[in-house]
Every structure is written in structure tokens, then in C-alpha cells.
Amino acid sequence: MAATAATFPSHVPVLIVGGGFAGLTAALCLQQQGIGYLLIERHPGTSLLPKSRSLDLRSMEILRELGLSAAIREAGRALALAWGVLRGPNLAHTLATQPPANAERVTHPSQLAMFERLAAQSPESGARCTQDLAEPVLRQAAEARGGDLRFSHELTQFAQDADHVTATVRNRDTGTEHTLTADYLLATDGANSPTRRALHATTSGRGSLGHYLNVYFEADLTAHVRGHEFSMFLVQEPDVTGFLLAINNTDRWSLHLRYHPEQSQQPADFTDLVLQSLLRRVLGLPELPLRILSVLPWEMSARTVEQEQFGRVFLAGDAAHTMTPYAGKGAATGMQDVHNLAWKLAAVLRGQASPALLVTYSPERQPIGAFFAHLSGDMADTQGLLSPAKLKEHGLPLMGLPDYTYRSAAILTADDQLTTPASALPLVGQLGTRLPHLWLDDAHDTSTLDWCRGSFLLVASGEAALWQARLSDVALDCSLVLHELPTPARRQAWQQLTHTQPGDALLVRPDGFVAARLPATSTAADLAAKVQQVLTLA
């Protein structure tokens, strides 16, 4: 249970600044590790706007590990049919004259035949769930699991020295200020990250792609849309440029309307009356009753910081990389950032790893953020609108299979028997890649990925008893759980998949990435040395 204002902590192991997807996921991952934290969020609650509408495959794997993937799917069930891009002079005309965008009744693009091979590589698929529905699921879970989350609290300043970070936090309801220290500060404070600015972190990338007003509104379009459900409608006419996002394909919609500060246009120019008229113009339904629910100006951009660690301060999520919405990767990449960092912070805070382990965060995650920021920028045309041709071109990486390879001191290379392709597809246990997925049962309920619960894993390709004996011969500081596939047939399938011999083993980090491939001839001392190396103690 969250402490009361009277018991505001004077010290926390980790201070998380920002309660969006990245901050809330960080809270859950630290909780899984048993590490104390304080999460502060300047707003009184989670996002009221739908913004992000889908979570990719890897995000769903992380949520599965945290026991929340089913809850997220359930929260977003009614939104499933949002798929397909339309373009035209107005929506009503386009729906009446163009074939249905989602004739195949796809509920997630990963179901398309072209992505079939993805299904074999993960127990999960991407899911539709808007931000306003997903964030409360994460928040409630973090609170129910005993986290200290304070909404209406903002970081006003911070400083760091060799031992800790000192932060000033203001309660926005009462104006009360608190000073506390933290071993580490995790800045998940969004695209305009005050922390990033205070650190003078340099960014690179395509930069600004235009200013938009996110107009979230209610209008019953059921009669027009039924059987013609879609995801996005692009409009680029002399009097209006923007994109309409289907939230539930019935009565909830977001129009992202381009405006031009360089021509002296300001958000305040767009009064309710002006917006209502523009909405009816875009919908092509001049008499339609509608209600504007909220309006939020935002800048579309693609930028990445060059460094994600500044001493005891880490940047993650939009604070580290901004993206256009077209790749659907902003929330996903942020969640994966903090999943990478949480176990490292935990190992260092528990004294099991050297602080050098934290130095591996930026080299492992910054290139992934930069890749998706660049790709999302590439998907925008010169007007900042989605290029449907680019959507097709980049289809596969957008699905979210973690087909990337980490390279850092926390991945060992000495026993690498495989050449690592530029893209790690398919995932077969290469060093620096996510543990391969294989079903453990005929019902396809349990996957090898379900072994990932925040501890080191040793996955034996058979001969588990030998590995058990080696484990009992060494004293490891960290918890390491031994697994092997349950039947001879599955063990054989695992050996084929991972290119291992009977008795070999994969050493897997707590984030599910393969750190070392151990031959059957390894000794207990070899195993202990590998774990020490991953923890950057050797």
C-alpha cells in the first residue's frame, strides 16, 4: 500500500519520474525484483486520451511475464477491428466509394499470412488496447502489488553526486515540497522530458514532423462504418490536413489535425466551434451531432538521445526517443527499455553486480530506440502523414518480434558458435537474443518464455541432472533456475531449434536474453565464471 504524505520517504532505491507506459512498467519490473521505488506522476491520474492504440508482440511478452497480458487483451477487446488505412476527401465519401479496409476481419496485423512465421516464435501476438484503457491496468497492478505511486506529484529539481541523487518533489494539490535521496533516478517523463533537458542530453534524428491537435471526440458513426471498419483515415486537402484514428469504430474517434505555428497559428485559434466545423468537414457529415471530449496539442517528431545513462540517472521511453505514431513503437520501446534496465538496477542494488552492469543499458537499448525512431520518421511523408507504401515496406519489424541482438559486456561472446545475422530472425538462441519460444505442452498453454520470471535461467539441452550437480557445487550470489524441456521429443526439438548438443546449456539473463552458450563439457567453475562475467564482476 502507498505510504501517506506524512510518511513521504526520505530515501528510496529508485525514483521513477513519470507514470506513463514506461514508468508504470518500470514499477512492475522493479516490484518483480523486490526492489523498493517511488513513482511520481505530475498528473492526477493516468492518460485520459487514447493516444497509443496497440501493443506489439514483445510488449505483450513482457506483460505476460508480469501476469497482465490477458487483462490488457480484455481491456481492449472492443477495439479489435481497427485495421487498414483509407485516404480521401472526406470519410463518408471514402467509406461509400472504396472497398472495406478490413475485409478479412483482421483483429491484429500479426494474423496476416505474411506474418505467419512470427506465430511460431512467440506465445503472444500484439494486442489492441488504447492508452487510456491500458495504463490503468498497469497502475492498478502496481498498486495492488504494494508499490508506492504518487499522482499529482512532480519532480521540480534534482542533483547527483557519487553516492546518490537528491530530488525535490512537489505535491501539486497542496504545494508541499519534499526532498529525498535515491540511489538511482529513472526518467520516464515523456517526449518533453524535463530531466533530459536538465541533463543537456544531445539528440539526433529527423526532428520535427509537424504540430498537431489531438481532438478526441464522440460521434456515432456506426451506421456509416459497420462492415467498413478501419484504423486510420488520411485527409490532405487545401483546407485541412490530418489523420483520423478509429478508437472503437463506433462512437470514439481522434482527429489529429495539422496546424502551423510558423504561420502564426496557435492551438487557441481552434475554438470548439472551429473544431466542430472542421470535424464535420473531415467526416463529410455536415449535420452529425458530435461532442469534443478533449484537445491536446503535440509535436510529431523522431529524435533519439545519444546516451541513455548520465551517472545515476537513466532515460527511458519517450524521454529517450520520440517517434511518429506510424510505427506503433513508442510505448512498446519504452516498456522494453525499462525491462532491460530493471534487473540490472536490482542486481547492483542487491550488491550482486558491479555498477558496470548499468553501463550496458545504453549500448543495448539506445540503438533499438534509434532504429525505431528512424523507421517511424521514414514512414511519414513530407506533410508528416503516413505513407501507406512505407507501412507495407516496414511491416515485419513493426510486428514486434524482438529480432535484435544485444552486444555489450553483459553478453558473452567466447562460446558463440553461430554467426549473428544483422537481423536475428529466426530466434534460435544466438547470443544476445531473446530466449527461443517452444511450447511445453500440447495445449499450447505454457511456453519456454514462461520460465522467465526475473531470475537467471540455465536451460539445459538434456542432461539436467549433470547441471544440477554442477549448480550444487558452486555458490552463486544470484538466483539461477535450472530448466529443461519436459519430454524426450521436446528436448530433441529444442536441440534442433537452438543448434545445441545433448548436455549443452543456455545461460539466460533475467530479461530473457541469452548471455552465454555453455558446452556440455563445462565445469561448475566455468558456470560460476560466466555468471560473474555477466554481472560484470569478473
Ligand X SMILES: Cc1cc2nc3c(=O)[nH]c(=O)nc-3n(C[C@H](O)[C@H](O)[C@H](O)COP(=O)(O)OP(=O)(O)OC[C@H]3O[C@@H](n4cnc5c(N)ncnc54)[C@H](O)[C@@H]3O)c2cc1C
User: Where are the extended beta strands (E) located within 24-164?
Assistant: 37-41, 54-55, 85-87, 127-128, 148-151, 153-160
Q: In which element (H, E) is residue 467 found? A: helix 464-473
x/- map, 247-286, ligand X, by CB under 6 A: ---------x------------------------------
Beta strands 505-508 and 456-460, pairing class: antiparallel
> Does position 189 bind ligand X by CB under 6 A?
yes
The answer to whether 256 and 214 are in contact (CB under 8 A) is yes
For the chain, how long is the longest CA-to-CA vector?
78
> Does position 331 bind ligand X by CB under 6 A?
yes
Helices (H), ranges, 104-220? 116-119, 131-144, 194-198
> Does position 400 bind ligand X by CB under 6 A?
no
> Does position 373 bind ligand X by CB under 6 A?
no
Query: For residue 88, what is the DSSP state?
Result: S
> Which of 43, 490 has the CB closer to ligand X?
43
> Does position 41 bind ligand X by CB under 6 A?
yes
> Which of 270, 298 has the CB closer to ligand X?
298
With cell 472526406, the residue in question is: 90
> Does position 332 bind ligand X by CB under 6 A?
yes
Query: For residue 321, what is the DSSP state?
Result: E
Closest listed residue to residue 337, CA positions, set 357, 371, 362, 374? 362
> Which of 17, 219 has the CB closer to ligand X?
17
> Does position 325 bind ligand X by CB under 6 A?
yes
Q: Residue 408: phi, psi to the nearest 5?
A: -165, 180
x/- map, 105-134, ligand X, by CB under 6 A: --------------------------x---
Query: Looking at beta carbons, which residue is closest to ligand X?
Result: 330
Helices (H), ranges, 432-509? 464-473, 488-498
The answer to whether 221 and 204 are in contact (CB under 8 A) is no
> Which of 109, 194 has the CB closer to ligand X?
194
Out of 32, 33, 53, 213, name the contact with ligand X by CB under 6 A: 53
> Does position 503 bind ligand X by CB under 6 A?
no
Q: Which three cell numbers stand for residue 92?
A: 463518408
Out of 31, 32, 33, 54, name the contact with ligand X by CB under 6 A: 54
Q: Which three cell numbers stand for residue 403?
A: 529480432
Out of 88, 109, 284, 330, name the contact with ligand X by CB under 6 A: 330
Least spacing, CB of residue 66 vs ligand X, in Å: 16
Least spacing, CB of residue 88 vs ligand X, in Å: 20
Binders of ligand X among 147-166, rule CB under 6 A? 154-155
Total residues binding ligand X (CB under 6 A): 34
Q: In which element (H, E) is residue 473 found? A: helix 464-473
Residues that bind ligand X in the complex, under the rule CB under 6 A: 17-23, 40-43, 51-54, 131, 154-155, 188-191, 194, 256, 298, 317-318, 325, 328-332, 334
